[in-house]
Chains A and B, each alone.
Chain A
Amino acid sequence: MSARADKSGRYWIALAGVLILFLAPLAISYWDQPFYLDVLMRLMILAIAAISLNLILGYGGMISLGHSVYIGIGAYAVGIPAYYDEYSGILQLLLALGGCGVFALITGAICLRTRGAYFIMITLAFAQMMYFTFVSIEEYGGDDGLVIYARSDFGGLLDLENNVVLYYVILGCLLLALLLVHRIVNSHFGMVIRGTKSNELRMQTVGFPTFRYQLSCYVISGMLCGLAGWLMGNFTGFISPEMMDWTRSGELIAMVILGGPGTLFGPAVGAAIFILMETVLSEITVYWHLYLGLLLILVAKFASKGFGALAGRIRGAR
């Protein structure tokens, strides 16, 4: 009973959130505050990245400290073609998804031979290898990065140069990511992933070859994050290796932990809290990460299921 109330509470809050995101551009143009459109776009892109990380971290128990590498690969898939005056949106998108898929397949096959702290370290190592690779490629700007002068081109279909169009494309991708993860984690495949997190030896003794399922999940997660990277490249119009630095990966983990790992909407809520703190507190102090740290400690200590669960509990407890 309480579990059900808890759940429906969370769904109403999520629905309200989606509605607000749908109407936000109207309000923003009415009050002429384009800055907030940028804030929301960044928020939603990071939410997609956090949702993709949550698929392996929250549901699969695979703690990657190199997930922002996929944002980087996705963004460079916009930037490098643009450097050669190639702006085809389809091509860039395929490059982003394909590049992330291949990178996740190769590195995942190696990372998943290890467990626990070693898994964390190897994901970190691979991400840093990519980071330094892009730092060293002078052609694409080294650590100064590249400016992208035009966004992905979809002919007459979509005009991404229009910020409001880009906004709704990002929102559409966010909803798609939520739907995808929702279907996956409840499917037969998802049960295998969650069961492996819960008790891997048991999964093998009942007959599941767990490695290939975990690797598939790792690839899906990487590609979904590549979508976020593709959006990020278009949104910022600038790419640099800094996007895939391990501190960025740490921030994605913070978002997942804040919102609640292993919950559908948690990572999006976590991304919202993160962006809110960054926007509000960085106006007041450059040391705003200090307050983020304090919040993380409080969440870890008192609300290990994150803010997403907390919101549901408040409404469910009536």
Chain B
Amino acid sequence: MSEPLLEVSGLSRSFGGIAATSDVSLKISRGEIHAVIGPNGAGKTTLVALLAGELAADSGTIRFREDDITLDATPARARRGLARTFQVTSIFSEFSALENVALAAQAHTGHSFRFWKPAAEDAALRQGALEALQKVGLGDASERNAGEMSHGEHRLLEMAMALATNPVMLLLDEPAAGLGPEETTAMVGLLQELKQDKGVLLVEHDMDVVFAIADRITVMVSGKTIATGSPTEIRNDDRVRKAYLGEEG
């Protein structure tokens, strides 16, 4: 619990002259939902991309389960147990929901240089995929074409794909974006269940969601972290009020 799963220190990345993420440090433990909030353009999505390995950091280190993964490519990080979802839905729209999730699971069952037997007959993959779909509440939609599902279902499908990889840590980029009130409640319940045995980094705009489930919150403004603490501490932090919450309230 106290041992940090993910330890980020001094992480920076700029595009041209603009520092999208500058000197960000944070620690996330197992069983913790760590929310990252901040106004648009604060560098939250860049941070997720840096952690997932889609962008290379200019400086700083990322340690995951005590290993330095700063130089690991995206697939290697994923295989270590770091799963992410995307702010803008990113799925395989030609495949069925089950195939989407089974493919994600397949990435974690050794190499895929298996040329002859149909993947659809791989019972272990299908079973794992079906369980992940059931967990997010899409158990009945497994045979539907992913491209034809609703926005809310896409958000859940992304979660199922992340879960199917059996991750130790989830990087969730606005999982509740665009969801209706009921769907949001279901997503909050799911996140609370998931955090039992995983670490979660949650980028989220919906403050009700953040303050309802986050154990710790980091506030980013213009690429920098200006405060980290419990929800209560963040709520009462003057800098945060001034820089961010004040604008809304």
Contacts and interface: CB of A to CB of B under 8 A. Distances in A.
Whether A and B are associated in the same complex: the answer reads yes
Interface of A: 183-184, 186-192, 194-195, 198-199, 201-210, 213, 216
The 4 closest A-B pairs by CB, nearest first: A207-B78, A207-B107, A188-B114, A206-B104
Contact of B106 (A188, A198, A202, A216): A188
Given A199-B91, A202-B91, A209-B73, A189 B52 contact: no
B243 interface: no
B116 A187 contact: yes
A187 B116 CA distance: 6
A32 B233 CA distance: 93
A39 to B, nearest CB: 33
Given A192-B112, A198-B94, A205-B84, 17 more contacts: A183-B118, A186-B120, A187-B117, A187-B119, A190-B115, A191-B112, A198-B95, A199-B91, A202-B91, A204-B73, A205-B54, A205-B83, A206-B104, A206-B161, A207-B79, A207-B165, A209-B73
A207 B91 contact: no
A317 to B, nearest CB: 20
Contacts of A186: 118-120
A215 to B, nearest CB: 12
Interface residues of B, number: 36
Interface of B: 52, 54, 73-76, 78-79, 83-84, 86, 90-95, 99, 102-104, 106-108, 112-120, 122, 161, 165
A184 B52 CA distance: 30
A191 B78 contact: no
B115 A187 contact: yes
B158 to A, nearest CB: 9
A187 B125 CA distance: 13
Contacts of B74: 204-205
A188 B119 contact: yes
Contacts of A190: 115, 119
Secondary structure call for the A interface: helix
A195 B92 CA distance: 7
18 contacts: A188-B119, A190-B115, A191-B106, A191-B112, A191-B119, A192-B112, A194-B94, A194-B95, A199-B91, A202-B86, A203-B107, A204-B74, A204-B75, A205-B78, A207-B108, A209-B73, A210-B75, A216-B113
B75 A191 contact: no
Max count, chain A CB within 10 A of own CB: residue among B79, B108, B116: B116
A85 B31 CA distance: 74
B94 A183 contact: no
A175 to B, nearest CB: 16
Contacts of B93: 198-199
A213 B114 CA distance: 11
B75 A208 contact: yes
A206 B117 CA distance: 22
Contacts of B108: 207
A210 B9 CA distance: 29
Contacts of B54: 201, 204-205
A213 B107 contact: no
A183 B115 contact: yes
B133 to A, nearest CB: 15
B182 to A, nearest CB: 27
B164 to A, nearest CB: 8
B80 to A, nearest CB: 9
A295 B54 CA distance: 42
Contacts of A198: 92-95
Contact of B99 (A191, A192, A202): A191
Nearest to A202: B90
Contacts of A210: 75
B115 A206 contact: no
Contacts of A206: 78, 83, 103-104, 107, 161, 165
Contacts of A195: 92, 95, 103
Nearest to B158: A202
A189 B84 CA distance: 23
A48 to B, nearest CB: 18
B114 A187 contact: yes
B178 to A, nearest CB: 19
